[in-house]
Structure 1
Amino acid sequence: MKEQTKSASRETSEVKISRRSFIGAAAVTAAALAGGMAGCANQPASGSGQSASQSQGDAAPGSGEGETLLPNPEGLEFTKPQGAAVAFESQEIDAGEIKETIDCDVVICGAGISGATAAASAAQNGLSVVVLEKGSSFAARGTEIGAIGDRAHKEAGIELDGNAFLEDAMATAHFRCDRNVWKKWIDRSGEALDWGMDTVGDACGKFFCANQNSVFAGVTTWGSGVRLENGISSFVEAMLENAQSNGADIRYQTPACKLVRNDEGVVSGVIAKTDDGYIQVNGSRGVVLATGGYEYNWDMMTQTIRPRDLAVYAWINPTLTNTGDGHLMGLDIGAAEDDYPHILMNDPAGAKTGNRANGAMLAFLRVNENGERFVNENLSFEYMSNAIMYQPGAHGYVIMSGDILTALEKAKGGAPWTPEDMYDSIKEVLIEADSLEELAEKCGINYENFEKTIARYNELCEIGEDVDFGKNPTALLPVNEGPYYAVDESGCCLVSVNGLRTNAEAQVIGIDGAIIPNLYALGNASGSMFYGTYPHHLSAVSHGRCVTWGYLVGRELAGVE
């Protein structure tokens, strides 16, 4: 299976569009959203401004041509991501169209980190498992898994305060989350990761902790991330191989499109698509939605995400199959979801090339179009990105000066890239000038304010204390010699992170508040944890929740929990 499950990494195709005006459409219920998104694929915007679902005559109630849920008074422009077609189907599928029926204990929709972990856990505990994956390979990205109390942290001598972590998580979500879900992750994530390390063996290389807690501008960035020497793709591949060794049946290019319920309303299986037609997989013990986010479903995003969060320059998740199929399948049968607006996991350093400019992620001076500094450049990524997106035009400028490689080396801090690598990431978008006035003119920055900002910033560098914003003194690098450089910076989106409401056992909750029997949601198809912003400062908690509940759900379905 190694050849079949090799991790994919494809470039995202993007189309620059001028943003439609948001005219305050009526609120869209979860069920209506599911119906409105039925069967639509992400498509370039038409001249009429219709969304893909509207062009098919299936728009969500309350929305007319060119309307979406949230207003866009600034007229922000968006780079619309292009992904795969939506697999979910709203219409009923006739039993006569089913070409094959498969019976098993557990059917898992999605072969990412959460689906792979759940498959391994369930199969290890003696269950028959079928995994349905939309893509031609598994989905994996990144290098870290978050956990508390695991042996990698213990070996590094790092002990995290779970109660303080919980308080931070709740406060970051403004308490618009489920405390029991967070508490379960904190209590069981260490055990889950230890199991994961035992399961994958040497496939991932070393598991190690790179960072202790750090505090900048009153924000604690937690050292909860455990880094994998060979990256997350090695973890997912090893999990799937372990699941297969225990009898799991993994089917690629077989997207789930419809949930099946019996006469008592219990979720009993899934209908999926193949090149030869529909198949039905019946899961006697449970159906697990592990289909990822919906960042490549533009129709969903324009109805659920803040316009400022959508106005990023780059969409950098290589998993183009993330079109919200699990969300839509759950909503279709009455599942509840997280409150709007939903959030995107955004980083700073989004470049107009559509890539993340790693060299621009460093703590260089930032200014907006008005030539004003607006942020402590040492903030954790979510707050830094939010500050950038809040500026006029949802962007700002990274300012550098002098020899560029020397500047990158000085600003590097703990970044894992060489100055040469960082320069390569920004050279296509680097704006260069011999004077500050010329730089301001090239960028469209108000020079009068810019000149004052630079003078003040250099003054702070001279005294060695940022009394204006509280930046780390070691990152105070003056802008006092040419040549001068700027990078036009917006956010870059990784994934959407809100999903179906779940309890601490990952069971999906209906809009009536009752558990939907036999239905589970994991990873970015699940909700109940995040609100307002994705907490990058709670390091690697996104991958951490995938592993924790993948492990726990497999045990729960086997009756071990």
Structure 2
Amino acid sequence: MKTSCQVAKAGVTRRGFLGLAAASAVIAGSGIAGCSPAKPSETGADAEQAQTVPEIAESEIKETKEADVVVVGLGVAGVAAMRSAAEAGAHVIAVEKTSIANCRSNMFAAFNCDTARKLGIPDTDPTEIGNELMTQMAHRADYRVINTWLKHCGEAFEWYTGAYKDLLLLGPEDAFPENPDQIYLYAQSVGGSTYRPGIDHEHLFEACCCVGGGDETHRPILEANIEKALETGNAETVFDSPAVKLETKDGKVSAVVCKNLQDGTYTRYTASKGVILASGDYSYNDEMLQKYAPWVYAHKDNYLFSHEGMDCKGNHASTGDGQKLGISVGGHLDIAPHAIMAHIFQFGVENFIELNERGERFCNEDLSMTNIAKVILNQPGSKVFQIIDAKANDYYPIDEMLPMMRSYGDGETYSAEADTLEELAAKLGFDNDAASTFVASIERYNELCEKGHDDDFGKAAEKMHPIIEPPFKAVTYDTLKHTSVEDVSCMRLLVTMGGLVTDTNARVLDDDLNPIQGLYAVGNVQGGRFVDDYPFSLSGASHAAALTYGYLAGEHIVNGETAE
């Protein structure tokens, strides 16, 4: 996603842009673990998933390699776990299903550390964030699991970004670097509170560090961490090698069997200290989607599945491998429904009225891009429309945001323009009762703006702006429009978040909530972090949790209690 740099090139100052990003929807780039969960035999779901793990005959295993720790998966969580364990002195073998290490976003929640302070991010009480996240997740996640990564995310982020030499830190008043290859850190938003009680519908925290430059993911930093691990002399990586079976000995996970995709043979990797599962989500496993995220499965056509990770045979990589492996040795998943991360970016969303295909207003528009996405799915048809009048520039910097909007989709910003509301409705395809409702909804909205109170949905008065001065314009969002993974105005499904229930050391727990010896889960294989819903109050939360638990698990699997 090319956001901050594009706006900078369009002439907007960094502080100005960051203020816009905070004022509009923030732009992106479990059972109850304290209680005994239902056993697989009671739900059937976990047991069925476990049956998909194949039996491998000893004669099919070509060779055995010895290690202290085996890490399954090389995304941000797996890379962090590999480096952390290697720096703690363990011999680590990291196996990856695809041909390269994987990363996408450039955003990490990080605070209460020197790096964050230099970027302008204020210190924050992690328990305040934790309580807000739990509230948004109906308290179905695990407080302890959440508070652990919130407490350590700043320290983990400094350790992780410290692997990259010549990293530039940008304070609030610093300009973006002109050199496109310069890798730098900046804060997503600075310069004031992002939550005003009684005005803002959602509580957003200023605690997101972003990586800029290069391809605008954090890949340069990810690769620097791989190099750091390899430089210890304790780590090695193996690609094109999905894990297909966990082995146990004397009640402890002792080895991983991997398939070598290049020649179809198998290799056993023994793990004297244990295995860390970090193989990602299950977006492309239809059976798991149907069981654990049924509303996603029911609306599959409305989502652009944006994870492009593929193995060397052309198969999607995100198929829940780690979740199934954990189940096969006695672990269990968060009880459904699982959280997903799904976004749709809308242009200045809280400032404008939003109508569905029947011409009806349907929500308080002051929603983050993850929450408006869920509301849109409940509307008839696939399209929603934002209506804007000629005075919009008085309360929203449209001209400054246009370059960003034009970078998405087909390069167009407005789908229709007219001098009357009736004409605008016709151009958008409304007819008969829907056209009348379209006009009546806007007139009702104008009355509420004049009244100074949104009787229908409770949007703050300062965000209510009448649609009265022509020309009138519309922005159309169609959840069946799947242009590309770069286009965040599509309904993009990034990852599923359901994973194996763990303790605060990322150790996978059995049905009695006791650790399974030698088995850890981090990243999107780990449960308890985001359950029922993925809250948008803390941008970069998913990356932060993955990084932090990889960092902590890598040390804990080597040093045990001394690492706590």
Structure 1 counterpart of 2:227, which letter?
A: E
Decide whether the 8 Å contact of 1:466 with 1:473 is kept in 2: no
Deviation at 1:167, TM superposition (A): 1.4
Q: Spell out the pairing of 1:68-107 with structure 2 (5 A cutoff).
A: 90-107=53-70
Deviation at 1:113, TM superposition (A): 0.5
Structure 2 counterpart of 1:240, which letter?
A: I
Deviation at 1:342, TM superposition (A): 1.4
Matched, 1:178 2:167: no
C-alpha separation between the residues in 1 aligned to 2:468 and 2:367? 20
Decide whether the 8 Å contact of 2:350 with 2:463 is kept in 1: no
Deviation at 1:289, TM superposition (A): 0.6
CA 1:539–1:305 in 2, change beyond 3 Å: closer, same or farther?
A: same
Decide whether the 8 Å contact of 1:152 with 1:226 is kept in 2: no
Decide whether the 8 Å contact of 1:145 with 1:225 is kept in 2: yes
Q: Spell out the pairing of 1:362-377 with structure 2 (5 A cutoff).
A: 363-377=351-365
**Secondary structure of the structure 1 residue equivalent to 2:319:** coil
Supply the RMSD in Å over aligned alpha carbons: 2.9
Structure 1 counterpart of 2:259, which letter?
A: K
Deviation at 1:93, TM superposition (A): 0.4
C-alpha separation between the residues in 2 aligned to 1:333 and 1:412? 55
Q: Spell out the pairing of 1:448-467 with structure 2 (5 A cutoff).
A: 448-459=436-447
Matched, 1:214 2:194: yes
Aligned residue in 1 for 2:313: none
CA 1:314–1:283 in 2, change beyond 3 Å: closer, same or farther?
A: same
Q: 2:232 aligns with which of 221, 246, 262?
A: 246
Q: Spell out the pairing of 1:221-300 with structure 2 (5 A cutoff).
A: 221-230=204-213, 231-247=217-233, 248-262=235-249, 264-274=250-260, 275-276=262-263, 277-300=265-288
Deviation at 1:27, TM superposition (A): 4.9
Structure 1 counterpart of 2:318, which letter?
A: N
Deviation at 1:388, TM superposition (A): 1.6
CA 1:433–1:137 in 2, change beyond 3 Å: closer, same or farther?
A: same
Q: Spell out the pairing of 1:347-358 with structure 2 (5 A cutoff).
A: 347-349=343-345
Deviation at 1:362, TM superposition (A): 7.5
C-alpha separation between the residues in 2 aligned to 1:343 and 1:93? 33
Aligned residue in 2 for 1:118: 81
Structure 2 counterpart of 1:214, which letter?
A: T
C-alpha separation between the residues in 2 aligned to 1:443 and 1:428? 27
Structure 1 counterpart of 2:253, which letter?
A: V
Decide whether the 8 Å contact of 1:359 with 1:426 is kept in 2: no
**Secondary structure of the structure 2 residue equivalent to 1:169:** helix
Matched, 1:189 2:153: yes
Decide whether the 8 Å contact of 1:401 with 1:481 is kept in 2: no
Decide whether the 8 Å contact of 2:497 with 2:531 is kept in 1: no
TM-score normalized by structure 2?
A: 0.76
C-alpha separation between the residues in 2 aligned to 1:408 and 1:536? 27
C-alpha separation between the residues in 2 aligned to 1:449 and 1:250? 60
Deviation at 1:515, TM superposition (A): 1.2
Q: 1:432 aligns with which of 389, 411, 416?
A: 416
**Secondary structure of the structure 2 residue equivalent to 1:288:** strand
C-alpha separation between the residues in 2 aligned to 1:472 and 1:227? 32
Q: Spell out the pairing of 1:118-197 with structure 2 (5 A cutoff).
A: 118-155=81-118, 156=120, 158-197=122-161
Which digits, 9 at most, give the CA deviation of each residue in 1:484-506, with x for residues without a partner? 43413333211001111111000
Which digits, 9 at most, give the CA deviation of each residue in 1:468-526, with x for residues without a partner? 53257367473643464341333321100111111100000122322111100001111
**Secondary structure of the structure 2 residue equivalent to 1:342:** coil
TM-score normalized by structure 1?
A: 0.76
Decide whether the 8 Å contact of 1:440 with 1:447 is kept in 2: no
Structure 2 counterpart of 1:481, which letter?
A: P
Deviation at 1:451, TM superposition (A): 0.8
Deviation at 1:149, TM superposition (A): 1.3
Q: Spell out the pairing of 1:320-469 with structure 2 (5 A cutoff).
A: 320-349=316-345, 363-393=351-381, 395-401=382-388, 411=396, 418-427=401-410, 431-432=415-416, 434=418, 435-441=423-429, 446-459=434-447, 468=456, 469=458
CA 1:152–1:94 in 2, change beyond 3 Å: closer, same or farther?
A: same
Decide whether the 8 Å contact of 1:185 with 1:548 is kept in 2: yes
C-alpha separation between the residues in 2 aligned to 1:363 and 1:101? 61
CA 1:551–1:94 in 2, change beyond 3 Å: closer, same or farther?
A: same
Structure 1 counterpart of 2:252, which letter?
A: V
Aligned residue in 2 for 1:354: none
Decide whether the 8 Å contact of 2:357 with 2:383 is kept in 1: yes
Deviation at 1:361, TM superposition (A): 6.4
C-alpha separation between the residues in 2 aligned to 1:318 and 1:360? 28
Decide whether the 8 Å contact of 1:360 with 1:426 is kept in 2: no
Deviation at 1:390, TM superposition (A): 2.5
C-alpha separation between the residues in 2 aligned to 1:157 and 1:148? 7
Which digits, 9 at most, give the CA deviation of each residue in 1:229-260, with x for residues without a partner? 24322221111111111232111111111111
Which structure would you say has the larger RCO, counting Cα contacts within 8 Å and 6 or more residues apart? 2
Q: Spell out the pairing of 1:480-519 with structure 2 (5 A cutoff).
A: 480-482=469-471, 484-490=473-479, 491-519=491-519
Aligned residue in 2 for 1:86: none
CA 1:308–1:453 in 2, change beyond 3 Å: closer, same or farther?
A: farther
Decide whether the 8 Å contact of 2:163 with 2:221 is kept in 1: no
CA 1:437–1:541 in 2, change beyond 3 Å: closer, same or farther?
A: closer
Deviation at 1:323, TM superposition (A): 1.1
Gaps of 5+ in 2: 1-41, 169-182, 310-315, 480-490
C-alpha separation between the residues in 2 aligned to 1:159 and 1:467? 37
Question: Greater CA deviation, 102-111 or 511-520?
Answer: 511-520
Aligned residue in 1 for 2:23: none
Deviation at 1:201, TM superposition (A): 3.5
Deviation at 1:460, TM superposition (A): 5.0
Deviation at 1:292, TM superposition (A): 0.7
C-alpha separation between the residues in 2 aligned to 1:218 and 1:309? 29
Aligned residue in 2 for 1:31: 47
CA 1:477–1:142 in 2, change beyond 3 Å: closer, same or farther?
A: farther
Which digits, 9 at most, give the CA deviation of each residue in 1:427-453, with x for residues without a partner? 478643642331453599822221111
Decide whether the 8 Å contact of 2:350 with 2:367 is kept in 1: no
CA 1:31–1:443 in 2, change beyond 3 Å: closer, same or farther?
A: farther
C-alpha separation between the residues in 1 aligned to 2:87 and 2:464? 49
